[in-house]
Amino acid sequence: MLRPAGLWRLCRRPWAARVSAENPGRREITSGVSPRGSTSLRALNIFDRDLKRKQKNWAARQPEPTKFDYLKEEVSRLGGGADDAEASFPLALDLGCGRGYIAQYLNKETIGKLFQVDIAENALKNSLETEIPTVSILADEEFLPFRENTFDLVVSSLSLHWVNDLPRALEQIHYILKPDGVFIGAMFGGDTLYELRCSLQLAETEREGGFSPHISPFTAVNDLGHLLGRAGFNTLTVDTDEIQVNYPGMFELMEDLQGMGESNCSWNRKALLHRDTMLAAAAVYREMYRNEDGSVPATYQIYYMIGWKYHESQARPAERGSATVSFGELGKINNLMPQGKKSQ
For range 235-261, the mean pLDDT: 94
Residue 340 lies in a domain: no
Residue 1 lies in a domain: no
Residue 42 lies in a domain: no
**pLDDT (0 to 100) of residue 22:** 40
Whether the per-residue pLDDT at 33 is higher than 50: the answer is no
**pLDDT (0 to 100) of residue 126:** 87
Quick check: helix, strand or coil at residue 273?
A: coil
Name the pLDDT band for 288 (thresholds 50, 70, 90): very high
Long-range contacts, 61-70 (Cβ 8 Å, 24+): 61/122, 61/126, 62/259, 65/99, 65/126, 65/259, 67/259, 68/256, 68/259, 68/260, 69/99, 69/101, 69/260, 70/245
Per the structure, the complete domain to which residue 161 belongs is given by 47-307
Name the pLDDT band for 13 (thresholds 50, 70, 90): very low
Residue 183 lies in a domain: yes
Whether the per-residue pLDDT at 257 is higher than 90: the answer is yes
Residue 32 lies in a domain: no
Summary mean pLDDT of the chain = 79
**pLDDT (0 to 100) of residue 114:** 94
Whether the per-residue pLDDT at 170 is higher than 90: the answer is yes
Whether the per-residue pLDDT at 172 is higher than 90: the answer is yes
Name the pLDDT band for 233 (thresholds 50, 70, 90): very high
Write the CATH number for 120: 3.40.50.150
Total number of domains constituting the chain: 1
Amino acid, single-letter form, for residue 323: A
φ, ψ at 263 (rounded to 5°): -65, 155
* β-bridge partners, 303: 187, 240
CB atoms within 10 A of CB 66: 11
CA–CA gap between residue 45 and residue 42 (Å, rounded):
9
For range 15-43, the mean pLDDT: 40
Residue 329 lies in a domain: no
Most confidently predicted of 41-45, 81-85, 99-103, 296-300: 296-300
What percent of the chain clears pLDDT 90, i.e. is strictly above it?
49
Residue 21 lies in a domain: no
Whether 85 and 109 have beta carbons less than 8 Å apart is answered as no
Residue 2 lies in a domain: no
Whether the per-residue pLDDT at 31 is higher than 70: the answer is no
What percent of the chain clears pLDDT 70, i.e. is strictly above it?
73
- b/e sequence 2-33, b meaning 16+ C-beta within 10 Å: eebebbbbbebbbbbbebebeeeeeeebeebb
**pLDDT (0 to 100) of residue 86:** 58
